[in-house]
Amino acid sequence: MKNPDSLFQQTHDEYVRTRYLAKMHNHALMNVRFKVRDAYEASVKPEFEKKHGRSPETGHEISKAIEKNLFYRTYSSFRYNAQEMVSQSKVAAVQRKLPEMIEAAREIANENPAGGTLRTNPDLELPKYITAQHVHLIPGGYHSEYTEDDVAQGVLLGVKQAGPLINPLRDFGAVGSSVSAWLKHAYPDFTPSNVLDMGTQGGSNLMTYDAAFPGIELYGIDIAGPGLRYGHAKAELAGVKMHLSQQNAEKVDFEDESFDLVVSSFFFHEIAVPATKRILQEALRVLKPGGIMVNVELPPHKSCEPFLNFTFDWDTRHNNEPNYRNFRSQDPTQLMTGAGFPAANTFEQTLPEVATYPEDKLADVWDGKAEAPPHGRGGWFIFGSRKA
């Protein structure tokens, strides 16, 4: 059986272009982005203070004040184009081998060596908050399907680097590994028998719970068929038994009190706030008594100073993520309690990335004795609650 990733073979020029663009995008995101603060402090902030008699108090105020600044406009153009071109540079290699990739995924599904399951639903009505734009400037976004049994978007989003995939599949789940390690520390008596990952895409984070909790049953849902087909093939080859199904998380077909653990990873900021509230209610419904929901997300406005909110919310206008700012303006604890979770069991915390943070210092951060690295720079913000 062929791995669909092994069929992703770029020409020399495609490979070099992708590597170059990836480094350019990383430079824009991690280096130039912080130089924008220098431009803000040097001219934008003083001009705002002179006009209003105070400093900007919100990220949105900074966004309006800085939009004509030449350095910021150059940075935005640089970052936008780098983001767009990284994905575009992989499209030709996917299109060239797509029939073979589809056939490889079909063969793996037929052989089904790990015993997982895959349910797709061609009649599922996809929500407009997903289909209205190509999220992250990725051609086709998460959802597009071009042919029968399509895996194109799954491969496009799932291949970690240019050229054949060389990292083991389990290395993908940095987020899931951090959450599962924290769960074992924070709730030492919690031994989930199953987990549901909402917005799982290809299931890369879902797989990590298999290593953390041996014998756990893995379930993942997503509205996009291509990612699920791709993820099923990858999991079967890796010997990981996952049950993937194409569903809208606003209304799933699982029975009440079906799961011990419900998780998500950078899911809610992609969807409309009303949908977020319905999904949290649905998560409460399918959780067993004593079950836990953990969501890895962007930190909310309330926990960030104005300039950091401005830098996070850049994606709202420039990265085809129109719900980004609206979600971050919500209070995560209020979202959980509004859905019916008990306030006393609700949590918000930043976790260190377990793969890079010193293992002997993890407990100090988890217990509040030391500060976690900032979100996106060694840390992950989480929120959630435990059902009564």
pLDDT tens, 160-192? Answer: 654 333 333 334 458 999 999 999 999 999 999
- Would you give the DSSP letter of residue 375? B
Provide the Cα torsion 137, 143, 147, 148; round to 10°: 160
- Asked whether the beta carbons of 241 and 159 are under 8 A apart, the reply is no
User: Could you confirm whether domain 169-386 is CATH 3.30.300.30?
Assistant: no
The answer to whether 387 and 289 are in contact (CB under 8 A) is: yes
- Look at residue 164 in the predicted model and tell me its pLDDT: 37
- Please name every residue paired with 217 in a beta bridge, in sequence order, or none if there are none: 194
Q: Where are the alpha helices (DSSP H) in the chain?
A: 12-27, 33-39, 45-52, 59-66, 70-111, 128-131, 152-158, 174-186, 208-212, 225-238, 273-286, 306-312, 314-318, 324-328, 332-339, 362-366
Q: Is the pLDDT of residue 240 over 50?
A: yes
**DSSP symbols for 214-280:** TT-EEEEEES-HHHHHHHHHHHHHHT--EEEEE--TTS-SPPTT-EEEEEEES-GGGS-HHHHHHHH
The better pLDDT of the pair 169, 236 is held by 236
Residue with more model confidence, 289 or 87: 289
* Dist CA 15 CA 242 (whole Å): 32
**What are the structural domain ranges in the chain?**
4-115, 169-386
pLDDT tens digits, 14-62? 999 999 999 999 999 888 988 999 999 999 999 999 999 999 999 999 9
Measure the CA–CA gap between 132 and 110, rounded to whole angstroms.
Answer: 34
Tokens of 238: 């890796």
Planar angle of CA 87, 88, 92, nearest 5 degrees: 115
Cross-strand pairs, 351: 380
pLDDT of 160 reads: 63
Sort residue 257 into left (φ over 0), alpha (ψ -120 to 50) or beta.
left
Largest CA distance in the chain: 69
Contacts of 258 (CB under 8 A, 6+ apart): 194, 196, 286, 288
Type of residue numbered 115: G
How confident is the prediction for the chain on average, in pLDDT?
A: 93
The pairing of beta strand 242-246 with beta strand 117-119:
parallel
Q: 273-286 and 332-339 are packed helices; what angle lies between their axes, rounded to 10 degrees?
A: 50
For the entire predicted model, the pTM comes to 0.94
By the 8 A CB rule, do 158 and 222 touch? no
66 vs 167, residue with greater confidence: 66
**Do the Cβ atoms of 70 and 76 come closer than 8 Å?**
no
Alpha-carbon span 135 to 83, nearest angstrom? 11
- Quick one: pLDDT at residue 329? 97
Angle at 81 between CA 305 and CA 322, to 5 degrees: 50
What are the structure tokens assigned to 304, written together?
């960030």
Residues of the chain above pLDDT 90, percent: 88
Nearest 5°: the CA angle 336, 353, 356 is: 180
Q: Quick: pLDDT tens for 117-147.
A: 999 999 999 999 889 989 999 999 989 999 9
CA gyration radius, the chain: 21
Q: pLDDT > 70: what percent of the chain?
A: 96
The 3-state DSSP composition of the chain as helix, strand, coil percent (nearest 5) reads 50, 15, 35
